[in-house]
């Protein structure tokens, strides 16, 4: 009888051990959080073949690739403020590139601060928040940026040109035969690798945030990455025209690019200029991809990969001549849709998640994956259900905005209203992504779309009213 009781007890102990080993979530895993500036989902893992991105593709093959994830606002400072606080932008909050959380949302607990408060060592390297010292209390040590000059040019003549420009802009691209760590991002990765080596022996779990600037303008990357592409094979955007029936409010003069000294103040770019800009963007993405590979390889070498969640994301999308525009700052899908990849130890690999998600969902997702109580202010939902269940749905409509434009996006449609200061809708557009994925024809006035327009307009009004009451 005694032996029978012992055997039963051993059975339950063994069952607990087996369950623990097979559990999909660790209690307090580390987090490696990688933000890539201006990265659009034009990668092999997203079905595009023109850009060389083997390391990002490999991460996707070992994790979850979100194909329908959008940012809340397509400009770096505001986008980061939104997903790092977990709250939506409004007409008066998180509006432009220079957004600061401490100004727009004082007192709100940020993602790193939440992890720090729960016993994590939190480190920031490179551009995580748009401003280096924004919300600095959320980090265990002072946020680190490399000491670089202006826009990180290496050529003497470009540095001199930039020094005479009040925005420190020189030419829109630069080709230099140099090493990976000569530019800003190489220095950030070197620092991050050193941090991983220190953190390996840390008793606390860590949250390491790494901000990579490329492929943000100017397109600067070591020459070897430019040489990986044949200039004659670079293709221009297939739709370099304003969409049919598009409201004038939806198109802009891409002022960010216009500020570079080799770009005309107005008018269409020449095909030669467009081609070299696309070439530069591709080279910068491949450069960033190599650095990301170096960082993840060090994570593996240190045997931290099986105890670390890896998140890789762009802060928003990017225009490369689509609809005649360059840069971001608009409500078209090319600016709103961006890459999101999450690798979680002991969970499925190589899974493509087609269900809708938005960047607001990252904060609650990481909280749940790390067994942390979610703050009450979060406006997103956890994506863990999408990771665990093939048929799960967490939301049917996503919301983004930029200046006067407010967008509601479903699996099929992208609907935008442009609203003036008095709250009046002055124009609108609707694109059917099933039949027109490149958004070339505004179908908002077609009779068969009347019901969907009314439904999405009502949802935008609800979001508008909810924001007024916050």
The catalytic site residues sit at 76, 130
Q: Using only C-alpha atoms, what is the Rg of the chain?
A: 23
Among candidate residues 31, 37, 32, the one with its CA nearest the CA of residue 185:
37
Residues 408 and 459 sit within 8 Å (Cβ to Cβ): yes
Give the H or E element holding residue 286: helix 271-301
Residues 311 and 357 sit within 8 Å (Cβ to Cβ): no
Give the H or E element holding residue 300: helix 271-301
- How many angstroms from the chain centroid is the CA of residue 173? 22
Phi-psi region of 154 (alpha: psi -120 to 50; beta: other; left: phi over 0): alpha
Give the H or E element holding residue 116: helix 111-117
Among candidate residues 180, 184, 280, 296, the one with its CA nearest the CA of residue 228:
280
Among candidate residues 319, 327, 345, 432, the one with its CA nearest the CA of residue 63:
345
Bridge partner list, 405: 402, 418
Bridge partner list, 31: 207, 309
Among candidate residues 88, 51, 164, 13, the one with its CA nearest the CA of residue 358:
88
CA dist 270 to 124, 218, 273, 410, 449, Å?
A: 40, 18, 5, 36, 37
Residues 134 and 102 sit within 8 Å (Cβ to Cβ): yes
């Amino acid at each position: 009888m005694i032996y029978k009781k012992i055997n039963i007890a051993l059975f339950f102990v063994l069952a607990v051990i087996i369950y623990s080993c097979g559990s999909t979530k660790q209690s307090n895993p580390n987090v490696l959080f990688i933000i890539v500036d201006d990265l659009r989902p034009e990668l092999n893992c997203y079905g595009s073949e023109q850009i060389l991105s083997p390391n990002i593709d490999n991460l996707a093959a070992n994790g979850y690739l979100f194909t329908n994830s959008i940012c809340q606002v397509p400009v770096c400072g505001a986008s980061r403020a939104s997903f790092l606080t977990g709250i939506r932008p409004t007409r008066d909050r998180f509006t432009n590139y220079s957004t600061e959380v401490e100004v727009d949302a004082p007192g709100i607990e940020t993602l790193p601060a939440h992890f720090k408060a729960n016993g994590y060592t939190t480190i920031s390297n490179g551009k995580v928040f748009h401003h280096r010292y924004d919300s600095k209390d959320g980090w265990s040590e002072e946020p680190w940026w490399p000491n670089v000059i202006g826009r990180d040019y290496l050529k003497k003549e470009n540095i001199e040109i930039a020094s005479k420009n009040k925005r420190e802009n020189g030419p829109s691209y630069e080709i230099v035969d140099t090493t990976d760590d000569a530019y800003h991002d190489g220095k950030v990765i070197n620092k991050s690798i050193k941090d991983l080596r220190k953190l390996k022996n840390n008793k606390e779990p860590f949250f390491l945030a790494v901000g990579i600037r490329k492929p943000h303008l100017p397109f600067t990357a070591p020459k070897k990455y430019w040489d990986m592409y044949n200039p004659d094979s670079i293709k221009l955007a297939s739709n370099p025209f304003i969409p049919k029936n598009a409201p004038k409010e939806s198109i802009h003069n891409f002022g960010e690019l216009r500020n570079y000294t080799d770009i005309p103040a107005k008018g269409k770019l020449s095909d030669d200029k467009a081609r070299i800009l696309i070439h530069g963007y591709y080279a910068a993405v491949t450069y960033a991809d190599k650095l990301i590979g170096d960082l993840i390889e060090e994570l593996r070498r240190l045997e931290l990969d099986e105890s670390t969640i890896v998140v890789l994301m762009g802060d928003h999308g990017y225009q490369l001549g689509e609809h005649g525009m360059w840069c971001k700052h608009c409500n078209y899908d090319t600016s709103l849709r961006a890459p999101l990849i999450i690798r979680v130890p002991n969970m499925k690999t190589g899974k493509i998640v087609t269900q809708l998600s938005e960047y607001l969902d990252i904060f609650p997702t990481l909280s749940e994956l790390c067994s942390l109580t979610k703050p009450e202010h979060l406006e997103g939902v956890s994506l863990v259900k999408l990771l665990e269940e093939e048929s799960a749905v967490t939301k049917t409509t996503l919301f983004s905005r930029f200046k006067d434009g407010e967008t509601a996006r479903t699996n099929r449609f992208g609907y935008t209203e442009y609203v003036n200061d008095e709250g009046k809708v002055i124009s609108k557009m609707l694109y059917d992504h099933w039949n027109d994925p490149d958004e070339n024809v505004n179908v908002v006035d077609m009779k068969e779309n009347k019901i969907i327009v009314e439904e999405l307009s009502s949802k935008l009004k609800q979001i508008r009213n909810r924001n007024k009451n916050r």
